[in-house]
Every structure is written in C-alpha cells, then in structure tokens.
Structure 1
C-alpha cells in the first residue's frame, strides 16, 4: 500500500491510496467466495460457478465494490497513520483507477482536526472557590435521613392534606367511556407530589377514608397520548385509606438504627464530613472548569461543524438516558414541550461548540507537553471503575471494546492535562 497527501485546504484533506494489483485481486477472490452463492449460472449448481464465468456474464467488475469494502477498512487506518492526519468525519471515497499495472487507486476526501497556535495556558489567574458547609445543610441532610426512615401510618377519620398519602381506587372516563390506562386500584398517591394530571390531587384534599368523589380534570394539550391530549375527563375516585408520615426521633437510637454510629453526635459529624468532602470536590471541579474556559479563550480556533454535530449527538444521547430513568424518552419530551429535534439541537449548539473547542485545546496542550496515559494509569482507572460497578477487574476489562479502551485512555490524558494547568495556575 502507498499513501500520498494530494491537497490540504483548511480542514479538508485529499489523499491518494494505492493498493497493488495482487492485494486487490486477493480481495476480489474473497468477495467471490463470499458472494458466489447468490448467482445462478446455467450449467452450474448454485454457488459452484467459477469466478471467471460469473465475471463474463455479469461484467469484470461484479466483485469490485465488495472487494473495496473489504480492503478499505484495512488500508485507510494505515494511510492516515502514515500521513499523520487526524480525521474527524467519515471519509468520502472515489475510485480513480483499477488496472493490472497500477492496482486499485483510491482518492479520499476527509475533514481533519484544525491546525492552530496555542495561546497562553500556564500562569492562568483564577479565584479560589470555597464552598463552605453550613449547619443548615447538615440539618437538611439529617432531615432527609429521617424522611427515608419514616413510616406511613393509617389515621382514622383523617382529612387529606398536602403531604399525606392517599390509597385510592380510580377509573377515568372521556365522554362517558372508560379510556385505556385510566384505571388503578389501591394506588399510593402523595398529595402535592404533582404526579397525576394537574388539578387531580387538589380535589382530594379534605376527603377521608371511605369517601368517593368525581374528579374533573383536563389533560394537558401536549400530553403524549394524542387521543387524550387537551380532553376533559372525569375520574371516579374512592379513598380507601389516609396515611401520614411518622418520623423517628432524631436521637442516639435513630443513629444506631440508621447508621453504623452509636450516637447522634457521631452521625452528625459523619454527615458534616461527607458534605465537606462533596463541597471540596465541587470547589475543585468549578475551579478546573474556570481554568479550562480561560485557557480555551486564549486560543483562536474554530470548532469544526462536524465535531459540533457529533457533540450534540452525544448530549442528546445522554439526555435520553436521563429521561429513561424518569420513564420517558426524547421523543416524548419533544411532544410534551411542543418542539422538534432541530430546535433541540440548535439550543445545544453553542454549548457543544464550546466543549469541542475546549477539547481541541486540551488535546493540543497534551501533545505539546507530551502527556499520555500509561499502562499504570489505565490499570488504576480500571480498579476505580471495577469498584464503582462492583465488578471484577478482569471481567470489566474483557467487556471493554477497543473504542471503550481508547476513550478511557483519552479521558485519563485529558484529566492529566487539566492537572498540569491547575498546577501552573495562579490561584488567589
């Protein structure tokens, strides 16, 4: 294989890749062996016709396209490595020549990462970020622990209030006809949680166990079920039980029951220590982000559109994962908010461009400072990941794809690069 750089204009590169005829013919033979079963040739059993016979009937180049698809994933990575170019998008391939003398000659057009001069990245001045933990925050955390350990207790002759839990049977009707998904029995509904249609929970306030009520509500116009969107409906509701939250006493007994500590004082000290650790990590993350933003601002480079679009893809994928934890997906979010995917992508474009620019600058600094991820770094990262996922290191390593490994190594390299920026920053 021979690779040659033909032209470079901005971020657009044209290269020529030449594969000798013997190698190309070997790929053609592979294509023939893979595809010969598709051809019915008179006088031959299916899949038994010689290559030359199929080529005579269907044309000499019948196997060429598939042969190129076999060869290209092998020769292209070698070509870009040899020419030291860093593609950021899919290559556009044209076949210039196929001949016995010159073999397969391909011309490839591809967009690469932009070249630029780094601005100042050492001696960056930043203000120290301190996130101090207040006594109120400690009390809030303890209150959360109390609520997690609370019991729901039935209360006779109790009128429902905000915060109470109603155990209800319900069935919904639209124009007098029961609709799908509108029925439930012994459903736990926290009044004020806004988990039901707007206006539903408020109409239960003041009701007691054993009472029945007609609840009149209107589905939101952007409701995901089109047959109900914007429609007025009636729910027949029966309150089976009213429960209130009973909190434990915040004392030594609670500390023993809810933690590994024997006293409330020890529990309180542990809560504060954990909050302070979180505050410290948050302060460091904020400061690192500020340094990266200032360093990126010192360098003039335009984020390529293809990289911006890839970053938006990643952002929307992450958003979809987050929505799935709430029982939704991206399409439902769009329907509920009355937007389309193009608007959502445009909303995120500025942030995506900012992230891409920061990434380009950090990679350039890593190259300039010869920062890389060692085998020791990678092993240490796997140890942390295995602990996080409660998985044996070897099993975790075996589950990783080559792209996953490269991604982890790149994350390590970028993290070490930011460490260098922090070490060389002036923090006032």
Structure 2
C-alpha cells in the first residue's frame, strides 16, 4: 500500500488524469543466475512505498483552501470568463467507440482473469514457464547460493537470465524428472571460486505453468459482473464496456475543452505554488521510501539536476493544472455548488466502498477532501450536459 502522503498527492492528479510522472524511471528488475551468492535465482528491487516519509517537506494540503474547499481568498469568476458549460456539443470523432477498440478492451479485461495452471503431463518446450529445484556443485562440492532449498523457482525459457544454456537444457524433460544440467560460469562471473568453473546442477522439474484464459460467455459474465455491474450476458458486458469507454473518452476531452473554451485573465500565484508543493511532496514520499534526499532522487530517477530544475521542468504543467482547477472552481461558483461533510462521506462510499476515510482527513484536512469531490462533481455535471453530435 502506498503511504498516506503519496496517496493524498496522487488522488487529485489521478482523478483529473493529468500526470506528472512522465520522466520517472522505475528501478529495474534484476535476475541472478544459479551460482550467485544470492539465496534465490531472481531478485526484484523497487521502491517500498510503505516506508515512513521521514524527509517529507511537511506540505499542508488544506492550507490554501477555505472551509468550502475553494481556493482561499480567490473568487475564480474574477479571473475566468466561462463558456456555456450547460450545453457542450461533442463530435462523433470523440465519443464513438469502434468495434476493434471495444474488442481490445474486452480482451484485456478477460485476460486479467487468466489463471496459472500447473501442467505435469507433457515435456518442456521453448518459451515455457517452469518451476524447478536444483542443487549446484563445482568439483562435487556444493556452493553458496546454488541451491533452491526445495522452495522451487519459476523460470521462463527465453526470458529468465541464467548462466550459459542452463534453461535450454530443460527442454524435452517432463515434470517429475531429475537430471544433471552442466554449465560453465563466465571467466568474469564475479565470484572468485566460480569464475570460469564447470558446474553441475542436479535439477528437478516440478511442474510447467500454463496461463489459462477463461472463455467469454454468459456464465463468465454472470459469475464476475452480475453483482457489481448487473451484467449477466456477453451482450450486457459489451454494452457496459462501450458505455464506460465512451464516458472515459468524453471525460478526457472535457478536461482539455474547459481550458480551451474558457478565457483566463490571470492565475493566482497561490494556485501554482500549491501544484509545485504538491508535486514536491509527491516525489518526496518516493525519495524517503528509497532512503535518499529529494535532490538525489530527482537526479537519479527523474533525470534533472536538482529540485529547482524539477520545478522549472514542470512549470508549464503546473500552470496548466492551476488554470484547470481555477476554471473548475469558477464553474462551481457559477453553479453555486456547496458540499457538506456528509456529501464527502457519500462520495467516498460510492467511489471506494469505504466510509472510514479518517486517515485521509487527518492528513489532508476536510477542505482538501471537499476540493477533490467538488472537482469530480463539476466534471460529472459537465458530462451530463454533453450533447453528442
């Protein structure tokens, strides 16, 4: 689970689908071959976002907001000339979903329900994912890290990186077989006692893993979507997915449209500062989980020299986000939209099936939570006012 700080910073960004992470590089997955000093043949590294944000900048998400969830001391309508948001005509090129697009989305959905099945009645072929155990030795002596200890290791022939042709030697063998795999360590392997040595791995194939994709039929739809979506047939699913795709396309279009169709005379600096502080706090959460300072994180993972360079690189994006939020508030002001604490609770129950969001309120404050809901309410209202051409 992501830390509260990161979650808070992401909530508004995700809700409005304006990303700031384009330049962020993830830590890569590393694989080590049998015979290393690691306790297992594959090792995945990455940010642990459950860590405490010890170096966080202490950003107060509600500091710039009033009790209504509006920007403090800002009347958005003084800065924005609105378009006719009560009737927005959208062309077919935006909202039409082709059969190919629908099929691709449904295929992706069905594939997400695929399951790995253990297969034990055939021989291994190239490309298979296989669960194996092995014990490695050089000159008859076992070495550290060359033993799976009976825990089993999943490897994919042609993808997983093992020394020499270790994995290719699995081809043709069946689950249950135990046999010798003979390999030679590279001369520059990095472990003195193994460099350039011939090794034997007594290897057992436990099982082959095959991915089984469920058949798309009425039974599949009913069992997986009847309760949550009221879909019971393939036709229901097709109609529902097409509708959701259309709503998504319209939502993305509207987020650009509100900026293009509005006239903004100026953007209060407090809104831009909010975006900048929010962005820094977002990245600081990750930096803390990696155990590094923000400047070091920016240089290593965001490919910018330091925090100042990060702000400069994202200045235009932050200004656009600030402009967007200003316009959204202008619409809310014009529509006289006001929210109670109960409205916020209702939103979180509906969106996240969770009525206890006290940790979020404690960390961000109710004004920030109200702003999130106001933004979503406005976007939902805009969608309801859309006229499809």
Structure 2 length-normalised TM: 0.53
Which of 279, 283, 298 aligns to 2:245? It is 279
Which of 94, 101, 117 aligns to 1:151? It is 117
Match of 2:316 in 1: 350
Give the Å deviation of 1:237: 5.9
Where does the alignment leave 5 or more consecutive residues of structure 2 unmatched?
1-62, 174-178
**SS of 1:366 mapped into structure 2:** helix
Give the Å deviation of 1:422: 5.3
Q: Distance in 2 between matches of 1:218 and 1:346?
A: 47
Q: Distance in 1 between matches of 2:109 and 2:76?
A: 52
How many residue pairs end up in the alignment? Answer: 292
Q: Residue 181 of structure 2 contacts residue 203 of structure 2 at CA under 8 Å; is this kept in 1?
A: yes
Q: Distance in 2 between matches of 1:372 and 1:361?
A: 14
Q: Distance in 2 between matches of 1:419 and 1:116?
A: 24
Structure-2 change in CA distance of 1:236 and 1:285 (3 Å): farther
Q: Distance in 2 between matches of 1:126 and 1:255?
A: 35
Give the Å deviation of 1:204: 1.7
Query: Cα RMSD between the aligned structures?
Result: 5.5
Match of 1:42 in 2: none
1:414 maps to 2:385 = no
Which of 204, 217, 228 aligns to 1:240? It is 204
Deviations 1:98-137 (A, max 9, x none): xxxxxxxxxxxxxx99996323432666545225263633
Q: Residue 132 of structure 1 contacts residue 279 of structure 1 at CA under 8 Å; is this kept in 2?
A: yes
Structure-2 change in CA distance of 1:233 and 1:142 (3 Å): farther
Give the Å deviation of 1:333: 9.2
Q: Residue 248 of structure 1 contacts residue 254 of structure 1 at CA under 8 Å; is this kept in 2?
A: no
Match of 2:280 in 1: 313
Match of 2:366 in 1: 405
Match of 1:299 in 2: 264
Give the Å deviation of 1:307: 3.2
Match of 1:212 in 2: 181
Match of 1:383 in 2: 346
Q: Residue 373 of structure 1 contacts residue 412 of structure 1 at CA under 8 Å; is this kept in 2?
A: no
Structure-2 change in CA distance of 1:401 and 1:294 (3 Å): same
Structure-2 change in CA distance of 1:142 and 1:267 (3 Å): farther
Structure-2 change in CA distance of 1:306 and 1:277 (3 Å): same
Aligned 1:6-405 pairs, distance under 5 A = 86=72, 117-122=79-84, 126-128=90-92, 129-132=94-97, 134=99, 136-137=103-104, 140-141=107-108, 143-144=110-111, 147-148=114-115, 150-155=116-121, 158-169=123-134, 184-185=148-149, 186-191=151-156, 204-208=167-171, 210-214=179-183, 239-241=203-205, 242-245=207-210, 247=212, 250=215, 255=220, 259=224, 267-295=233-261, 298-302=263-267, 304=269, 306-316=273-283, 335=300, 342=307, 345-367=311-333, 369=334, 371-375=336-340, 378-386=341-349, 389-391=352-354, 393=355, 395-396=356-357, 400-401=361-362, 403-405=364-366
Deviations 1:399-424 (A, max 9, x none): 73284321121223233444555566
**SS of 1:401 mapped into structure 2:** helix
Of the structure 1 ranges 164-173 and 379-388, higher mean CA displacement relative to structure 2 is found in 164-173
Structure 1 length-normalised TM: 0.49
Q: Distance in 1 between matches of 2:196 and 2:282?
A: 37
Give the Å deviation of 1:249: 7.1
Structure-2 change in CA distance of 1:273 and 1:424 (3 Å): closer
Q: Distance in 2 between matches of 1:276 and 1:203?
A: 47
Q: Residue 122 of structure 1 contacts residue 421 of structure 1 at CA under 8 Å; is this kept in 2?
A: no
**SS of 1:309 mapped into structure 2:** helix
Give the Å deviation of 1:245: 0.9
Structure-2 change in CA distance of 1:350 and 1:366 (3 Å): same
**Looking at both structures, which has the greater relative contact order when contacts are Cα pairs under 8 Å and sequence separation is at least 6?**
2
Where does the alignment leave 5 or more consecutive residues of structure 1 unmatched?
1-76, 88-111, 220-226
Q: Distance in 2 between matches of 1:202 and 1:345?
A: 48
